[in-house]
Amino acid sequence: MVSLDVFQQEFRKLKEVDHRKDQLIERLILQVEEFQINLTEKKLHLEREQTTTKVYQSKHKEARDELEKLEEDIRSNNFVSVLIDGDCMPFLDALVILAHQGGLEAVRCLRNKVCEYVSKELKLPSNIAVRIRVYANIKGLASAYFFNKVLERQDDLSMFIRGFNMGHPMCDFVDAGDGKECADAKLKAWFDHDVADVQCRAVFLGGSADNGYARLLQPHVGDNLEKDRIVLIEGPPFAKELAVLRDSFIVARFPDVFRTTKLLARRVSFTTTPPRTPVPPTYAATIGRAVDAVKIDEANVPSVAADIRKRYTVMQNSRGQRLDSIINPPQSLVKVLRTTKHCNTFHILGCCTFDNCEYLHGVRLDANGIAARRLSLRYTPCPSKLHCKDEKCLLGHQCPDKGCIKGNGCRFKKEMHNVDRS
């Protein structure tokens, strides 16, 4: 018979096993509770992430829709700007003669030519809006047409302009005023404005005979994004400084609208007929006073006739670099002649080869006047710089300011300063 001690031992063992089993079950229950808590937190986090994602997706869609709408608005308001300097880009005589009807026809023809050009060459919609602005000294332009016998009366030009302005709501022919640079200033301001306007897909600039526009275009040379939007209209041949830049831009020609030659300007007569009534001081009198003020000794002035026959030579230093001769004309004379429109090739070189030259000829300037014109021209740097071999080049090959402190702001390149003259 089994003793009581044996039963008690067995019972204690069973109790220990039950205790370990209970502990295991309790640990399992605690771990399950922990998993449930973590799962609940993860679910809440996921719900928050999903909510945030939906918000951002909604905002992204709204932003994309707004961007598409903005792009559509920009496309719907795209335009092409045509800027014409009427003083140096004259309309065809045949159009001007027709007065009011000619103005209407000029607008129609120019708009059609521009639309056709932008469609074929620039790949823009043929129905894109075209805005045309013509600026000119109308008084001077009317005088030029009258002098060239295109118009019977100077007032007839106003009828052409009226027809032009009535030809289309986006086409304007504006009187820029009597100042020499009035039309230039307005065109340059509108050019900068339109180039900066993202809705302006192209800017046509018509001023081929005016060197002043070269400085306007220079900053855009090498900028592929901008230069592909700039189109130069060639009517009369490009002026010297513009001709250097023409290959950097697109060039268009509209011979059915604009003249290919400049209008012949009235030359000033130097015949001394005594006036019947007192008149204001003439240009010649102004020059005379300037010369008298500095007491020029005419006995020491070289013969002008001899200067005409003289063969021009290219001055160079020992390195073969172009040099400008040293001249010291009276500053008062330089100041006066800087504002005149003398023909430089006639007065300085002695011969003008242009049949329709619009600049002043008449009596040739004396040696001091020629030196004054030379000095004024030298403030424009020659594109060939120190390598120029043109014996008749009148532009500057060294900075004329001996103590120049402008640095990079100077129009003359670094190598054109302090050039060795030995």
Report if residue 373 sits inside a domain.
yes
Q: Would you place residue 346 in the very low, low, confident or very high pLDDT band (cuts 50, 70, 90)?
A: confident
Question: Residue type at 364?
Answer: R
Is residue 152 packed enough to be buried (19+ CB in 10 Å), middle (13-18) or exposed (0-12)?
exposed
Q: Is the pLDDT of residue 173 over 90?
A: yes
Q: How remote is the C-alpha of 107 from its chain's centroid?
A: 24
Distant-in-sequence, close-in-space partners of 391: CB < 8 Å, separation ≥ 6: 312, 313, 314
Return the closest-CA partner of residue 255 out of 75, 90, 82: 90
What's the rounded Cα separation, in Å, for the pair 143 and 375? 31
Residue 306 tokens, joined: 């001899």
Same-domain pairing of 81 and 133: yes
Instruction: Answer for the pair 324, 315: CB distance below 8 angstroms, yes or no.
Output: yes
Distant-in-sequence, close-in-space partners of 364: CB < 8 Å, separation ≥ 6: 304, 308, 346, 347, 350
What's the rounded Cα separation, in Å, for the pair 342 and 42? 90
Q: What local confidence, expressed as pLDDT, does residue 75 receive?
A: 63
Q: Is the pLDDT of residue 177 over 50?
A: yes
Residue 304 tokens, joined: 């002008």
Q: What local confidence, expressed as pLDDT, does residue 200 receive?
A: 93
Q: What local confidence, expressed as pLDDT, does residue 132 receive?
A: 97
What's the rounded Cα separation, in Å, for the pair 285 and 271? 13
Q: Quick one: DSSP state of residue 273?
A: P
Report if residue 362 sits inside a domain.
yes
Same-domain pairing of 236 and 287: no
What's the rounded Cα separation, in Å, for the pair 80 and 131? 6
Enumerate long-range contacts of 272-280, CB under 8 Å, 24 or more apart.
Answer: none
What's the rounded Cα separation, in Å, for the pair 273 and 277? 12
Report if residue 369 sits inside a domain.
yes
| Helix ranges restricted to H, 172-271 | 182-196, 212-217, 224-227, 240-245
Q: What local confidence, expressed as pLDDT, does residue 266 receive?
A: 56
The tally of domains found in the chain comes to 2
What's the rounded Cα separation, in Å, for the pair 103 and 91? 10
Same-domain pairing of 333 and 229: no
Question: Residue type at 102?
Answer: G
Q: Would you place residue 129 in the very low, low, confident or very high pLDDT band (cuts 50, 70, 90)?
A: very high
Is residue 295 packed enough to be buried (19+ CB in 10 Å), middle (13-18) or exposed (0-12)?
exposed
Same-domain pairing of 112 and 226: yes
Q: Which of 55-64, 246-255, 328-337, 342-351 has the highest mean pLDDT?
A: 246-255
Mean pLDDT in residue range 143-159 = 88
Which whole-number Å values give the CA distances from 203 to 25, 280, 283, 346, in the listed order? Answer: 86, 44, 40, 36
Same-domain pairing of 239 and 110: yes
Report if residue 207 sits inside a domain.
yes
12 vs 284, residue with greater confidence: 12
Same-domain pairing of 247 and 294: no
Report if residue 37 sits inside a domain.
no
Same-domain pairing of 245 and 297: no
Mean pLDDT in residue range 101-116 = 94
Q: What phi-psi label fits residue 149: left (phi over 0), alpha (psi between -120 and 50 degrees) or beta? A: left
Q: Would you place residue 178 in the very low, low, confident or very high pLDDT band (cuts 50, 70, 90)?
A: confident
The per-residue pLDDT for range 73-99, each reduced to its tens digit, is 666 689 999 999 999 999 999 999 999
Q: Show the beta-strand stretches assigned E in 86-240.
A: 129-136, 171-175, 200-206, 230-233
User: Which strands sit side by side in the sheet containing 79-85, from one edge to the other?
Assistant: 171-175, 129-136, 79-85, 200-206, 230-233, 250-252
Among 235, 252, 269, the domain-final residue is: 252
Same-domain pairing of 244 and 289: no
Q: What local confidence, expressed as pLDDT, does residue 73 receive?
A: 64
Same-domain pairing of 242 and 314: no
Classify 35 as helix, strand or coil.
helix
Structural domain span for residue 310: 283-416
Same-domain pairing of 225 and 328: no
Instruction: Answer for the pair 359, 397: CB distance below 8 angstroms, yes or no.
Output: no
| Residue the block writes with tokens 């006639």 | 346
| Residue the block writes with tokens 């304007």 | 172
Report if residue 311 sits inside a domain.
yes
Same-domain pairing of 186 and 137: yes
Q: H or E stretch including 298? A: none
The sign of the dihedral angle between the CA atoms of 326, 329, 331, 334 is: negative
Question: Residue type at 369?
Answer: G
Q: What local confidence, expressed as pLDDT, does residue 383 receive?
A: 85
Q: Quick one: DSSP state of residue 360?
A: B
Report if residue 329 sits inside a domain.
yes
State what percent of residues in the chain have pLDDT above 70.
86
Q: Is the pLDDT of residue 269 over 70?
A: no
Distance linking the first and last C-alpha atoms of the chain: 141
Q: H or E stretch including 70? A: helix 4-76
Among 202, 236, 252, the domain-final residue is: 252
Q: What local confidence, expressed as pLDDT, does residue 309 receive?
A: 36
Instruction: Answer for the pair 209, 236: CB distance below 8 angstroms, yes or no.
Output: yes
Q: What local confidence, expressed as pLDDT, does residue 23 receive?
A: 87
Q: In the predicted model, what is the mean pLDDT of the chain?
A: 83
Q: What local confidence, expressed as pLDDT, does residue 16 receive?
A: 82
Report if residue 125 sits inside a domain.
yes
Same-domain pairing of 296 and 233: no
Mean pLDDT in residue range 240-262 = 92
Q: What local confidence, expressed as pLDDT, does residue 138 receive?
A: 92
Q: H or E stretch including 413? A: none
Q: Is the pLDDT of residue 66 over 70?
A: yes
Q: Is the pLDDT of residue 265 over 70?
A: no
| 89: number of Cβ within 10 Å | 26
Mean pLDDT in residue range 298-316 = 48
Among 232, 252, 272, the domain-final residue is: 252
